[in-house]
Amino acid sequence: MTGLLIGYARVSTNDQDLTAQKNALMASGVPPEKIFTDQGLTGTNRARPGLSEAMAACRAGDTLVVTKLDRLARSLRDAKDIVDELTRREVKLSIGGSVHDPTDPVGKLLFNVLAKVAEFEADLIRARTREGMAVAKAKGKLRGKQPKLSKKQETHLVELHYAGNHTTAELAELFSVARSTVYRAIKRAGETAR
C-alpha cells in the first residue's frame, strides 16, 4: 500500500498569495483537501498551525510535500526538528518533486545540505535588509517611528500638566494619545529643563 501525499504551503506576509504553491502541490499529486497552509507567518516561527495540521495528518508511509525547503523551514535547527519528527514517524519528504527518505543515509545527508542552504539564504536576506536600512538612514529616508505629538502639542501638554488642573488620564484623552505618551513627554521636558 502506498502512502498519502500531504501538502504544506506558507507565505511570510498576508499580502503574498499561496496560489502558485497550491497549484504546484496539486500538480505533484496532492489532493486539494490535503493541502495545509500558513499565511503571514515566517519560516523561523515554529508555531505554525498549518504545519502542525500537516504533520498531524501524516502517517507512516505518507509523504509530506513542499514546493521549496524554505517554505518548510528557514533555520537548520527547525529543519532538523521537522526531519527528526518525520523520521520518527516514518514519513518521507518531497521537496520540489524530489523525494527524500529521512531514514536513508543519502536522503539524510542531502536534507542537511538543503537545510544549511535555506539557513544561508535567510541570513543573506537579513544582511541585505540591514544594508538597505543603513543606506536609507544615511540618505535621511529612514527616520523611524514618527512622534504622536508635534513639538507644539507636546509643549502645550507639559504646560497643562505643570498647571496641575488635569490628571495624566485626562491629558491622554484630551490629546488622543496613550498615557505612556504623556509620561514620556513630561519626562523629556524634565530632562531638557536640567
Residue ranges of the domains in the chain?
5-132, 151-193
Largest CA distance in the chain: 82
Q: Please list the active-site residues.
A: 12
Quickly state the pLDDT bin for 100 (edges 50, 70, 90).
confident
Mean pLDDT, residues 53-79: 86
Q: Which three cell numbers stand for residue 54?
A: 500537516
Could you tell me what percentage of the chain is helix, strand and coil, using 3-state DSSP and rounding each to the nearest 5?
55, 10, 30
What pLDDT does residue 1 have? 40
On whether the CB atoms of residues 53 and 63 are closer than 8 A, the answer is no
Give the model confidence (pLDDT) of 67-98 as tens digits. 988 888 777 777 778 878 888 888 888 988 88
The residue ranking higher by pLDDT, 191 or 93, is: 93
Percent of the chain with pLDDT over 90: 37
5-132 adopts what CATH topology? Rossmann fold (3.40.50)
Give the model confidence (pLDDT) of 142-155 as tens digits. 777 778 889 999 99
- pTM score: 0.58
Going 65 to 69 to 75 to 79, the CA torsion angle's sign is: positive
